């Protein structure tokens, strides 16, 4: 087992829940006409960033529905705010986050090379869940879940030297053979570009009022077997992450996981709002019982800090927050 397990202290900002995809398991997305459709205003974002800074967070996790402008009503709304696209809006929000002392990590879904290039200077890292390379009923009506499109975005991020997070979603109809193929694709992309900092192994969690509301969750053994398989396939420098609010993470550390992802002392997990974050002190105590330290990192992993895989505009914050090994310092 590792002598330490890492995490990042963050705030979770769901900029909009409007999305072009219609995944059978998603309880987050909304059409623009839905009464719960949302686009966060700048003052709302600023309030959360200010709170996160007070709680010592270093990461601003920006996520939203993929390409929401494909809904004409959303495009009209973002244009009314003075932006030509949600990516333009995200760039401004990232700049505001940097001003509050938080490092942006954005998960905007499938992107063009040009949009990735525009986002790189204002993001310490970025992410996109591959989920699976299999073609599944769960992804019907979801053009952004075509595996080749997601692989292209991950590959383009490598070409741009963006420290990157990806992952698998377990239990949406894929087989273990599909998971092996997905992990192999991730491995090969990393061997080509060297940019994959972590792979998340995340279990499917059924949500009310979705097509998969009555589908079973994957068993603990399935998750453990997948973590073990991931550790066998992936290069050692790629960390395996498991979410501590959705898994029995102590057992998964024994299988090869060594990161608990972003944990927020201030905001909820908006994708899985029913699953509360454990307190950091509770995690330290539980890990301590098995002889493992909890170690804080930034949203950009230590090896990319030390190799300066970041834009000059982020240098002051990253150098202020990181120690000589690239982890979060004690200040």
Report whether pLDDT(1) > 90: no
Report whether pLDDT(331) > 90: no
Q: How confident is the model at residue 330 (pLDDT cuts 50, 70, 90)?
A: confident
User: Cβ neighbours of residue 228 under 8 Å, at least 6 residues apart?
Assistant: 255, 256
Query: What's the rounded Cα separation, in Å, for the pair 217 and 215?
Result: 7
DSSP β-ladder status, 293-297 and 59-64: unpaired
User: Cβ neighbours of residue 33 under 8 Å, at least 6 residues apart?
Assistant: 73
163 CB-contact burial (10 Å; exposed 0-12 / middle 13-18 / buried 19+): buried
Cβ distance 162 to 126 under 8 Å? yes
* 98-126 pLDDT tens trace: 999 999 999 999 999 999 999 999 999 99
Q: Which helix (H) or strand (E) holds 279?
A: none
Query: What's the rounded Cα separation, in Å, for the pair 241 and 166?
Result: 10
166 CB-contact burial (10 Å; exposed 0-12 / middle 13-18 / buried 19+): buried
Average pLDDT, the chain: 97
88 CB-contact burial (10 Å; exposed 0-12 / middle 13-18 / buried 19+): middle
- Count of helix runs (H) and strand runs (E) in the chain: 11, 9
Query: What's the rounded Cα separation, in Å, for the pair 11 and 14?
Result: 10
Can you give the pLDDT at residue 9? 98
* 287-309 pLDDT tens trace: 999 999 999 999 999 999 999 99
Q: How far apart are the first and last CA of the chain?
A: 28
In the three-class reduction of DSSP (H, G, I as helix; E, B as strand; rest coil), residue 226 is classed as helix
Per-residue burial over 44-76, b = 16 or more CB atoms within 10 Å of its CB, e = otherwise: ebeebbebbbeeebbbbbbbbbbbbbebeebbe
Q: Which helix (H) or strand (E) holds 7?
A: strand 4-16
Sign of dihedral through CA atoms 113, 115, 118, 120? negative
Query: What's the rounded Cα separation, in Å, for the pair 313 and 87?
Result: 19
Q: Mean pLDDT, to the nearest integer, of 39-60?
A: 97
Can you give the pLDDT at residue 254? 95
Query: What's the rounded Cα separation, in Å, for the pair 280 and 9?
Result: 9
Q: Mean pLDDT, to the nearest integer, of 79-100?
A: 97
Report yes or no on whether pTM surpasses 0.85: yes
- Between the alpha carbon of residue 131 and those of residues 59, 136, 145, 262, the distances in Å are 23, 11, 8, 18
Q: Mean pLDDT, to the nearest integer, of 221-238?
A: 98
Beta-carbon count within 10 A of 331 CB: 7
Fold observed for domain 4-321 = TIM Barrel (3.20.20)
Q: Mean pLDDT, to the nearest integer, of 19-26?
A: 97
**Residue found by looking up tokens 């890492």 in the block:** 6
The rounded percent of the chain whose pLDDT value lies above 90 is 98
126 CB-contact burial (10 Å; exposed 0-12 / middle 13-18 / buried 19+): buried
Q: Mean pLDDT, to the nearest integer, of 71-81?
A: 95
Cβ distance 155 to 148 under 8 Å? no
Q: Which of 153, 104, 105 is closest to 129 using CA atoms?
A: 153
DSSP state letter for 138: G
Query: What's the rounded Cα separation, in Å, for the pair 109 and 149?
Result: 10
Q: Which of 116, 109, 142 is closest to 24 using CA atoms?
A: 142
* 161-175 pLDDT tens trace: 999 999 999 999 999
Q: Which of 283, 215, 271 is closest to 244 using CA atoms?
A: 283
The stretches of 18-175 forming alpha helices (DSSP H) are 42-54, 72-80, 86-99, 113-119, 147-159
Can you give the pLDDT at residue 236? 97
């Amino acid at each position: 087992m590792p002598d330490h397990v890492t995490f990042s202290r963050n705030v979770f900002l769901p900029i909009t829940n409007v999305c072009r995809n219609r995944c059978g398991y998603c309880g987050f997305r909304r059409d623009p006409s839905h009464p719960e459709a949302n686009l966060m205003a700048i003052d709302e974002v600023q309030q959360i960033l200010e709170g996160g800074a007070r709680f010592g967070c270093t990461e601003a996790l920006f996520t939203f529905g993929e390409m929401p402008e494909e809904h004409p009503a959303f495009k009209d709304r973002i244009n009314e705010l003075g932006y030509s696209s949600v990516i333009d809006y995200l760039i401004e929000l990232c700049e505001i986050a940097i001003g509050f002392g938080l490092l942006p990590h954005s998960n905007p879904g499938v992107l063009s090379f040009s949009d990735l290039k525009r986002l790189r200077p204002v993001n310490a890292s970025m992410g996109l869940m591959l989920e699976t390379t299999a073609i599944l009923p769960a992804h019907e009506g979801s053009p952004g879940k075509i595996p080749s499109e997601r692989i292209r975005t991950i590959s383009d991020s490598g070409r741009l030297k963006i420290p990157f997070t990806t992952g698998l979603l377990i239990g949406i109809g894929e087989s273990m053979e599909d998971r092996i193929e997905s992990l192999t694709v991730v491995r090969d992309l990393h061997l080509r570009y060297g940019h994959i900092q972590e792979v998340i192994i995340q279990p499917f969690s059924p949500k009310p009022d979705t097509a998969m509301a009555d589908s079973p969750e994957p068993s603990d053994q399935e998750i453990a077997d997948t973590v073990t398989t991931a550790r066998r396939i992936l290069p050692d420098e790629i960390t395996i992450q498991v979410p501590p609010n959705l898994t029995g993470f102590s057992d998964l550390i024994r299988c090869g996981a060594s990161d608990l992802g972003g944990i927020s002392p201030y905001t909820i997990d908006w994708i899985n709002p029913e699953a509360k974050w454990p307190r950091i002190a509770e995690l330290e105590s539980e890990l301590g019982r098995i002889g493992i330290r909890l170690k804080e990192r930034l949203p950009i992993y230590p090896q990319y800090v030390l190799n300066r895989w970041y834009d000059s505009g982020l240098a002051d914050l990253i150098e202020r927050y990181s120690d000589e090994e690239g982890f979060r310092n004690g200040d």
